[in-house]
A = this chain, B = another copy of it.
Amino acid sequence: MMRRLHFLLPLFLLGAVDNSHALEASRHTFDNGLRLIILEQTTVPIVTIDCLVDGGARVDPRLKPGLASFTADLLDEGTSQATGPEIARKIDSLGGSLSMGAGQDWIHAGASLLSRDFQTGLELLAASLRSPTFPEAEIERIRRETLGSITASDENPAAIASRTFRAALFGDSPYGHPIIGTPESVRAISRQDIVDFHARNLRPNQTICAIVGDVPEVEALAQMKTFFGDWQGVAAAENATGATPPNSREIAVFQQTTQASIIIGQLGIARDNPDYFPLLLMNHIFGGGGFSSRLVERVRTREGLVYSIYSRLSSTRLPGSFRIGLQTKAENAEKAIRIVREEITNMHQDGATQEELQAAKDYLTGSFPLRLDSTGKLSGLLAQIEYFDLGTDYIAKYAGRVREVTVDEVRAVARKYLRPEGLIVITVGPENGPATESTQAP
């Protein structure tokens, strides 16, 4: 059975060839469960394919952190059809690119190509997802490179802060370990682990592909059926639950630097939470973007304590994080943390003003089309809309949903979700300052 639904996409976003026809993305579900979104765009002779397979670092076995990432890195390093070097030479000869990698929630496999090379690229992508051979030599090379990356990140204060924050916030729950793994686990992962992970998780029923570009819809659909239609198997069931809010903690990691890298945060929400839009606006007002957020205004412009500061609400299947990141001189760290705490308390108690809310709405509705200015960005967004089940009318209704958020709703979500008394504070730098716990950098 193939079901088919049309996305509603507003004319102004999607490059209508003339004003009488809005281009429409179509949605298809294969009998094997694979979901496919196709958007034909004839303006440039290129095509991008973005596939998301549910099950990234989130489904790493408890004792094998990094397994999803290790598996993803090997997908295009040898398939039943070609060796890794042959695949690399082939994609190079087209001027195109393949990319494979793991995130928190998914394994991503993508290709960017001239549209004339669509079939060749799709064939390489399908073989990578369906029939990787995981050659021993490539496993050892990727293992070596991964260990090198971990070593390099051990010297990066921002990376240390992020890893420490994640561990403190999520603990033993699915997002608690680094996507790339730990040196111990990366050394211990066997070829059989990788083969098993692939068999359990890379299956059509949890795969979503979005194709955007100068390929006729009927051809894109036919080629997808050719290369993915007979893919069989059902992924293993997953039984993951999110983290419970941890107690407030302050952790200092010693590093021989002059600047302190700081992360302050707490649990956020899952992407499908109905409070997403009020929280999106609250985060934007607080520190999410633009030059006039409260954090930039107060900590950077008024107090002159930092070069950059941001807040970020993650988009994940299970509840993710809400975090503030900043870099400052070590001697200013304590003051910067105190001010961020004050601002969180202020937002928690009072919410935002009508003027702030209007400015945030103007920014988010205005910048939305600007963030979709290439085929690759559009295919990535369409795949994520399907992944998070946001509805085929998501793009069309985005601006309306932003505009309908009220000051009362922002105040309510600030009250409901912000936890001024439950913050995790990570400081990586030369002095321990205000921290109550201290760990040595590895």
Contacts and interface: CB of A to CB of B under 8 A. Distances in A.
Contacts of A157: 155
B362 A93 contact: yes
Contact of A370 (B13, B113, B301, B368): B113
Interface residues of A, number: 63
Given A85-B301, A95-B362, A112 B155 contact: no
A151 B375 CA distance: 38
Nearest to A48: B373
Contact of A92 (B93, B154, B292, B372): B292
A48 to B, nearest CB: 8
A307 B93 contact: no
Interface in A340-386: 359, 362-370, 372-376
A92 B96 CA distance: 35
Interface stretch (A125-133, A142-150, A161-169, A388-396): A142-150
Interface in A227-276: 256-259
Nearest to A378: B44
Contact of A43 (B15, B89, B112): B15
A59 to B, nearest CB: 26
B370 A112 contact: yes
Given A92-B359, A365-B95, A144 B370 contact: no
Nearest to A145: B307
Contact of A364 (B13, B95, B141, B367): B95
A254 to B, nearest CB: 13
16 contacts: A13-B45, A44-B369, A44-B373, A88-B290, A89-B292, A92-B292, A93-B362, A95-B364, A95-B367, A96-B366, A97-B367, A113-B370, A141-B301, A152-B327, A155-B258, A373-B375
A46 interface: yes
A136 interface: no
A68 B43 CA distance: 38
Contacts of A188: none
Contact of A94 (B89, B301, B366): B366
Contacts of A152: 259, 307, 327
A9 interface: no
A339 interface: no
Given A43-B43, A95-B364, A114-B369, 6 more contacts: A12-B45, A85-B301, A93-B359, A95-B365, A141-B301, A151-B258
B18 A17 contact: yes
Contacts of A217: none
B307 A370 contact: no
Given A304-B141, A373-B374, A117 B292 contact: no
Contacts of A365: 95
Most B-side CB within 10 Å, residue of A13, A17, A373: A373
Contacts of A15: 43-44
A96 B370 contact: yes
A349 B23 CA distance: 55
B359 A304 contact: no
Given A145-B307, A256-B256, A46 B92 contact: no
A291 interface: yes
A175 B92 CA distance: 33
Which 4 pairs, one residue from A and one from B, show the smallest C-beta to C-beta distance?
Answer: A95-B366, A95-B367, A88-B291, A15-B43
Contacts of A292: 85, 88-89, 92
A279 B264 CA distance: 49
A89 B359 contact: yes
Nearest to A152: B259
Nearest to A296: B88
Contacts of A367: 95-97
Nearest to A116: B366
Interface string A90-105: 0111111100000000
